[in-house]
Amino acid sequence: MADFLSEYHLWKRKSKQISADVGGVSYDGMPKAPVKKDPNSQLDAHANAKNECWKRQVIVDNLRDVGDQYAMLADILSWRYLHEFSQRKCMRLLTERYGWDMSDKTFRLKQEAALDQALEIIPHRWLSEWQPLEEK
């Protein structure tokens, strides 16, 4: 689950690299440069990358919507995996928001609990279709 969530930024960068713009009609009579990629596959790749980012955000949002007791777990997942904050920064943010100063070990246990809870609410189809993204 941690690997699944940590790919958020890889998919985010990939969605920004793939342009959804396929070009338009040339009205000035000058020939246009040839399109190197098939426009449909380019749009599909862009939509796929956006969808993968959305899936990871939905998991955190669904965990937050389960109840108030899960809000801190959702914040931990969001800060650690979607925002890529360090453990220290997450602990400081938890202290500011919830008034709970915790040790490194307690934070790691809470992070593992958050991952376990997220695993319970994620649609099983998403995990069965998931293939680790190779960073190129």
Block mean pLDDT (10 aa), the chain, length 136: 84 80 61 64 84 90 89 95 94 94 94 92 78 66
Query: Distance between CA 78 and CA 93 in Å, rounded?
Result: 12
Whose CA is closest to 25, among 46, 39, 45? 39
The whole-number pLDDT of residue 136 equals 47
The whole-number pLDDT of residue 69 equals 85
Query: Distance between CA 110 and CA 30 in Å, rounded?
Result: 61
